[in-house]
Amino acid sequence: MIKLQVCKTIERIDLCGRVREKRPTRLYFISPIWEQVPMRRLKRSINAVILAASLLPWAFAPAAFGCDSAPKDGGAQVSAQPDVSRAEAPYFIDPAREPRMKRAQLVKLLRKRIKYVFIIFNENHSFDNEYGTFPGVNGIYSDGLKPRSARHTPGFIQTYTDNVSGATVTVWPFRLAPAQNSCVMDSVDHSNAGMIAKFDIKGGVPMMDGYAKREYRRFAGEPGTKPTAAREEAGTQFARLVMSHIDCDTIPFFWLYASRFTIFDNIFATEDGPSTPNAIAMLSGQVGQTQWVKHPSAAKGLPVKVGQNSGILNEPPIVTDCLPLWGSQFDTTRFDRQPAGSKERYRNDNIAANLTFAALPLTFQGKNISAVMRTNRDPKLDLPDISKDIPYIRRLGTEPVNWGWYQEGYDHEATDPPGVASHACYVTHHNAPQYFGYITGTPGVCAGMHGLTDFFNAMALNRLPHGGVFYIRGGYCNLIGAKPVITDPKTPADEIQAIDAAKAGDDDHPAYSDRQLSEAMAARAINAIASHKRIWRRCAIIIAYDESDGEWDHVPPRILSYGPKGLLSRGARVPLILISPYARTHVVSHVEGDHNAVIETINYIFGLPALAELPDEAQALQKGDSPYFNRFAPEGFHQNHLGPDDMESSLSRSLLSGFDPQRLSGKAPPLPPSFAIIPQRVIDSFPHYGGQGCKQIGIVPEDVRQGISNKIPEGFNPLPATVPAAVYKDVRTY
């Protein structure tokens, strides 16, 4: 453990003994070095003496984390992927041979080079589920350098007790391939309570071994429950499904981007739970801890009545997929109301309260913020909790930053009838800006909210603002009107019909999306960006995910905060890929972070203040470490993270390590747009590469490299929710 000095201004110190930031914090958990740092980084970044020292306790080996007398990126933070392809070889620069660059220098170059940041914000997959066998990462069968045995992989072997026989059932990781229609899968439990059970926290450390047990018990019931065939079957199938994973035969485009650019293998969901909290965290770095600290008594809920509707608004911290107040039955806005998704259930007890803490669209206003916020329709409701932030941001005098949130179904889409916005594709609880009254109720800020067709039209007509931050999200449908991709030729017609009805979305959410429709949407967006030379040469593209969907991942997250309902943060590990003409090629970054890492990077590029340093948020951070809030955590735990974490520290780093110093400095040429573009004919041809993606893009997955046999459980049904009867009429052995 690290014990930090307590003084008038409390400092947070990193593993190298440097002061990383001044803010209210005293104590946090550090896991052992062998769980955090793959040996590849040790070998490539430090000499033999330090390598030997790394076998001692972590306190004696700070160099393993890339420490130096000044903060630097590179070195131990990144490592090369194996097997550089012929296409990548002309652009590959071994990070072990690159000179280090101080962060201040790197930031200065980034601000000069990057003017556009695009976030393709996908849904619900754990890192191991999609990239667990990607070469060079900390995955299911390897630490990134050498193979790792099952006994050294947390949660690799999972067990539960069968309610019928009382026998112990064993579940293990296995790969779904096109032969099992791996483009579609069903969603598993990713609720806050479900994730706590799956983590199986003991002594403050997640064991990561409760995934199969949780899935079995949520259907079959706790031990002693009277069994039924349907419940037992559902529990059995979901306990298997949660341990499955895929590779480049299923998502070849995403794997190609990960190979050609930089993949991050140590990024986590901010909150331990579902999509809404983590969508909010992508904008704010938190799920409302600031608002909770400012109004602790409101956390139990706020009674509300509008017309015939009465209910309890869900106050922060937000830990469920509750819908936004704005656009709901409790929204009293008369003009320019926010939309409501036609496929979502607006129960009176499932609506969030107005969110009033700081998010990026606030700091985006820069020196114009006071004038912009004067146009807010209800300042008494929307602005009190940012009353100190607004003048602070104005005094900094930063330039305003254009922004856009482009989400499918928000307004009229290409798939809608002329002049009619159906909102049929709209997943309202994924639209983070809609939760904030100072965004939706301020015309100059709300103007940044759009539908997905608007993004493609803006790119085609060259109408995207000159510079800024732009979020891209899919939804329940896809803009090209394609059906889900069926790759198993044995699939019966009635199952195809069920899949067609359930899986045509394009945001990668297992419940309703198809993986290849999702990667095709991302590829079309990336092609649109890369096809504009002016935009491509000034851009960074981030492919990010909100949360894990509850799918198994073996890396334990750090425990940072607790709320009234238990664990708040962090959630499970999620994928993240950085694409840019200035990105490193064919490397893995191992820096640790969550959605705050994206916010930190945006702050660096546009010179914005950290949300954590804004007065209202900083005040709440300090107040959070108090007896009232510490009582929600285990004894001795300090609530040092009740708010945003978008300041560089040993546990929250930016994405700067994914940029190549030589490309930024001009010593190496930027990557050409052709390096990111996938031909349109390939995008439009399903299944992608005929289901032979690994062969076509030239990547050998780690399990194949090691000759590991793929043991799919006998009688496994890959879609136990979509086609639950399949196992009875056609017991398949894959």
- 536-547 pLDDT per residue, tens: 999 999 999 999
Predicted pLDDT of residue 99 = 85
| Structural domain range at position 209 | 156-247+695-729
* Strand, helix or coil for residue 351: strand
pLDDT tens digits for 630-679? 999 999 999 999 999 999 898 899 999 999 999 999 999 999 999 999 99
Domain count, the chain: 1
Structure tokens at 161: 């007790």
| Separation of first and last alpha carbons in the chain | 47
Which has the minimum average pLDDT: 131-135, 224-228, 237-241?
Answer: 224-228
Mean pLDDT of 549-559: 97
Predicted pLDDT of residue 6 = 31
Contact 573, 151 (CB under 8 A): no
278 pLDDT exceeds 80? yes
> CA 287, 7, 13 angle in degrees (round to 5)?
60
DSSP E strand boundaries for 402-517 = 403-407, 449-450, 468-473
pLDDT tens digits for 699-711? 999 999 999 999 9
Mean pLDDT of 468-487: 96
595 is a domain residue: no
728 pLDDT exceeds 90? no
Which has the minimum average pLDDT: 38-42, 316-320, 720-724?
Answer: 38-42
| 121 CB-near residues (< 8 Å, 6+ apart) | 279, 282, 471, 472, 473, 544, 545, 546
Tell me the H-state helices in 171-273. 192-199, 211-220, 229-241, 252-260
Predicted pLDDT of residue 69 = 26
705 is a domain residue: yes
Predicted pLDDT of residue 300 = 78
Mean pLDDT of 111-128: 97
pLDDT tens digits for 492-504? 999 999 999 999 9
pLDDT tens digits for 189-219? 999 999 999 999 999 999 999 999 999 999 9
| 675 CB-near residues (< 8 Å, 6+ apart) | 87, 91, 260
718 is a domain residue: yes
User: What pLDDT band is residue 302 in, cutting at 50, 70 and 90?
Assistant: confident
146 is a domain residue: no
Mean pLDDT of 553-567: 96
183 pLDDT exceeds 50? yes
pLDDT tens digits for 571-592? 999 999 999 999 999 999 999 9
26 pLDDT exceeds 90? no
Give me the amino acid identity at 246.
I
Structure tokens at 88: 């990548």
Predicted pLDDT of residue 726 = 57
- Of all residues in the chain, the percent with pLDDT exceeding 90 is 82
φ, ψ for residue 553, nearest 5 deg: -140, 145
71 pLDDT exceeds 70? no
11 pLDDT exceeds 60? no
710 is a domain residue: yes
196 is a domain residue: yes
Closest-CA residue to 576 (of 144, 103, 254)? 254
Q: What is the mean pLDDT of the chain?
A: 88
Tell me the H-state helices in 200-308. 211-220, 229-241, 252-260, 275-284, 289-294
14 pLDDT exceeds 60? no
User: What pLDDT band is residue 100 in, cutting at 50, 70 and 90?
Assistant: confident
Predicted pLDDT of residue 730 = 43
pLDDT tens digits for 413-470? 999 999 999 999 999 999 999 999 999 999 999 999 999 999 999 999 999 999 999 9
pTM metric for this prediction = 0.89
16 pLDDT exceeds 50? no
62 is a domain residue: no
198 is a domain residue: yes
- 6 burial (CB, 10 Å; 0-12 / 13-18 / 19+) is exposed
280 pLDDT exceeds 60? yes
